[in-house]
Each structure stands twice: as C-alpha cells, then as structure tokens.
Amino acid sequence: MKSILTLIILVLGFEVILAQGLHFGPQVGFASTTLIEKNPAGSIDKSLKMGYQLGATAEFEIMSFLYVGGSVTFFNKGDKIKGDGFKTKTNFGCLDIPINIGYKMPLGNISVFGSIGPYTSVTIFGKSEYIMYDNNGDIEYEHSHDIEIGGEFGYYKRFDTGITVSAGVEFKQYQIKVNYARGFTDFTNSEFVKSYNSIINISGAYFFGRNY
C-alpha cells in the first residue's frame, strides 16, 4: 500500500512540474571542435575535430515566447593538426553545463528560436595521439598517451567558461538546434601559449510531456 501511495505521489508531482512549464528530456548530437591558439610564433593551421555529445536538457517557460534553458552534457572535445606526413590529435572528455535564455516564435505547426547564455565546462580526462606516415601514406609510427589535466603539472586546465549562442526549430516534443560555444578562459597552463575552446555542434532533443 505504501509503495502504491508513493508511486501515485511521484506521478502527481511529475504532472505538476510539467503543468508549470518545466520540460526536460535526453539530448544527443555531434560537434566540430578545435582550440584557438595564440602564441608569439603566430597561429597554427588546424583541422576541425569531430566529436559527440550525450546528456539531458530542460526548459522552463516564463512566457509563451520566453524561456530559460539548461543542460548537463558529456562532450568529446579536442583539436587536430594535419601536416606533411604526420597527424596529431587531442581528445578531451568534458562535462558542459550551459544556461541560456531564449526567444521562440511560432510559424504554423513549428517554432523557431534563438538563445544565448554562459556555460561552464569541467574536463574529466584527456588523451593525445601522434601518427607518422611513410611516403605511401601508410602508418609508420603511432603513439598515444593520457594527458594530465589541471594541477601543478597539467598542461591543460580542468575548468573552462564561455558563452553559447544557439538557433533552432522545434515541433511538439522534438527539437533540433545549432550551437556555437566560445571559451573565454585560457585553457593552457603556459606563459607563451593561450588556447580557447571553440565548438560548433548540432543536437536533437526530446521533451517529455510537451505536445504544443
């Protein structure tokens, strides 16, 4: 009897939350990431590194056209450099927490929206990979190692903050958006090099209980 009563209370509480304009659900996507570096020798020509994201997102409707959103997402970030006969790649596993305020405009059965806000990111782990190719394009040498993050000897810092700008479209429970995030925190522990995260990602989300 107590279990049934507890279940009823949880279901009613869930319905109350949804009725108040708070909706949440899973979010998945992929991203193109890099590190924008500034150093005395000049900029380094880099390629965008493809990654993925997986997490949960939520939105609270303030008015019919105004909302506050946030998410907790695991991001695969890093950067890649391709040269004559070699390739280097860094991979970071990061937990991103963006908070944004957005504006929605209905267009028939769909809505378009835009949002802006700050984000905080925590780097959980890092890995570096170096590959050398021979004249035929085959792998001649390959090496990878874990990257120390944060602390006294870590080359990369653990925490990053910046701003995100998003735009997208949604239909009932479904949402697709394009997001750009730019770090404002120097991600490198170096006197000579300054690095800033730059991420472009496309994600899709499903909001439980929302049907408008």
What are the tokens at 120? 């905080």
Whole-prediction pTM:
0.80
Q: 173-199: per-residue pLDDT in tens?
A: 999 999 999 999 998 888 888 889 999
Six-digit token string for 35: 């590190």
**Separation CA 142–CA 119 (nearest Å):** 35
Closest CA to 175 of 143, 202, 197, 144: 202
Residue 106 DSSP label: E
Q: What is the pLDDT of residue 45?
A: 63
- Please tell me whether residue 118 adopts helix, strand or coil conformation: strand
Kindly state the helix (H) or strand (E) to which residue 4 belongs, with its residue range. helix 2-19
Q: What is the pLDDT of residue 59?
A: 93
62-78 per-position pLDDT tens digit: 888 899 999 999 999 98
CATH T-level topology, domain 25-206: Porin (2.40.160)
Residues 6+ apart with CB under 8 A from 98: 70, 71, 73, 117, 118, 119, 120, 164, 181
What is residue 82's predicted lDDT score, i.e. its pLDDT? 82
Q: What is the pLDDT of residue 16?
A: 42
Q: What pLDDT sits at residue 84?
A: 81
Per-residue pLDDT at 25: 94
Cβ 47 vs Cβ 82: under 8 Å:
yes
How confident is the model at residue 115, as a pLDDT?
97
- Which residues in the chain come in under a pLDDT of 70? 1-20, 41-45, 212
Query: How much is the pLDDT for 182?
Result: 95
